[in-house]
Amino acid sequence: MESQQKIPDTDTPEEIKKSTTTQNEENLKKRKRDENEKEEERKNPIFTTGTSIFITPLNFIYPKPENILTIRQILYEDLKDIPNRPKTLQGALLTTFALEMEFIMPIVTAGFKVCIVSHGKPERVEKISDNFTVVYPKVQQWGSFHPKLFILKFPYRLRIVITSANLVGCDWNLIGQCIWFQDFFYGDDPDAGFLKDLKKFVDDIIPKKTEILKELGIDLDRYNFRNSAVDLITSVPGKYRIPCDYGFEKINQFVKKKYSHFTYQCSSVGALTGTLKKDICKSFTNNPNCEIDIIFPCFRNVMESHLGTPGAGVFFMKENSYKNEDFLHKNLCSMEGPTESFSGHLSHSKVLIIHDNYEINDETLIYIGSHNLSGAAWGKYEKNNTQLSISNYEAGIIFKSQPDSKDLKKYIISQLPFKFPPSKYLRDDRPFFIDTDMGK
């Protein structure tokens, strides 16, 4: 005989209705909780305290690093869930060396007021439309307007951004760049050093007879900069009596001891000979005999990179400078990524790490910004070291020496797009030369 199968129990219509009602109620509660959470996010958009470093997207890197940041995100008050966020940006002051109109069109047509300060000659102000102005400050014959500083006004906060990326497409998609930013809120602290330095720099780059900041709705004095995680370091063209608050003199204010080393990753290296070498060591480390690492792509790095020589046009070292017998040949280091996924990338960032034998501690100094390793950017001492002559406009930030900052600095260095400590050039390596290697 076949075994008799047990007929499964079935719910009565009343039980089914009760179960469905309960499930619907739970779904409604969950949906309500999700809506409440999203509403709280809208009321309290996330912001940064200035204790992180971000990098621009690199199309060929996989898996993607967690600290990638796009220019679109920067221009939104909240960095997450951008498609569902309202555009609350009210005014923007953007500085750049290079400017690509196709790249900036989505920005200047978004409905808020924009002023771009860019390199160009002659000195002038161009009012493109009611919402868009371009300023070309006065530059010296051999100087450059080179900072990448953004001041972004949202309804209840001001965002300050320092980056190495110009307002061109390739800088935000193909070449490694560093980004720092911090949000500041309403308050009153006129003695904050960051505020004083920021106001002075804005005054230096905006023509005196204009009211650019007023047109943008930006009043720097309305915000409290007391909690800035960093200090601002700038360069402005001119000849300054010592002491002054620009270039070499400014960064040396944060060098409170004698350091054994500095490591500099940059995209342009000047003629590092003679007195300039001594000035660099003295200003960065208070040690004329310090050890030096200069991270700059060798020819091999460029040829093995994803972009090849077409992507190396942003790296400036001339063959004659390198052939000078006084040049720092033994101090050059390869441009290598911090992990295997970064292999083959080229980085346009400018980062200075001042340290003792690669140990990262509370006294380590980290600079990030637009300054390359040159006298044009940092200055040249003249008249028996009583005067500093600067050719370029530059802007950057520094994480200074302070108690309990070791872990933060280790974290910052772990977010950089290059390996630290770096590796010296191999025996047969030599730098990529902008004047003789392009097109190979």
Q: Residue 182 half-sphere exposure, CB side, CA atoms within 13 Å?
A: 19
Q: Is 199 annotated as a binding residue?
A: no
Q: Is 348 designated active site?
A: yes
Q: How far is CA 392 from CA 139, 251, 381, 438, in A?
A: 8, 16, 15, 25
Rounded distance between C-alpha atoms, residue 141 and residue 137, angstroms: 13
Q: How far is CA 424 from CA 130, 185, 273, 294, 297, in A?
A: 52, 44, 20, 9, 11
Residue with token string 């621009």: 56
- Of 146, 261, 345, 355, which one is the catalytic site residue? 146
Q: How far is CA 151 from CA 116, 257, 287, in A?
A: 11, 33, 36
Rounded distance between C-alpha atoms, residue 307 and residue 358, angstroms: 31
Sign of CA dihedral 183, 187, 188, 191: negative
Q: Residue 190 half-sphere exposure, CB side, CA atoms within 13 Å?
A: 0
Conformation bin of residue 103: beta by default, left when phi > 0, alpha when psi is -120 to 50: alpha
- Of 119, 345, 348, 371, which one is the catalytic site residue? 348
Q: Is 200 annotated as a binding residue?
A: no
Q: Give the pair of three-digit tokens for residue 27.
A: 């779904």
Q: What is the amino acid identity at position 45?
A: P
The strand pairing partners of 382, in sequence order, are: 387
- Enzyme catalytic residues: 146, 348
Binding residues: 148, 350
Binding residues for substrate: 148, 350
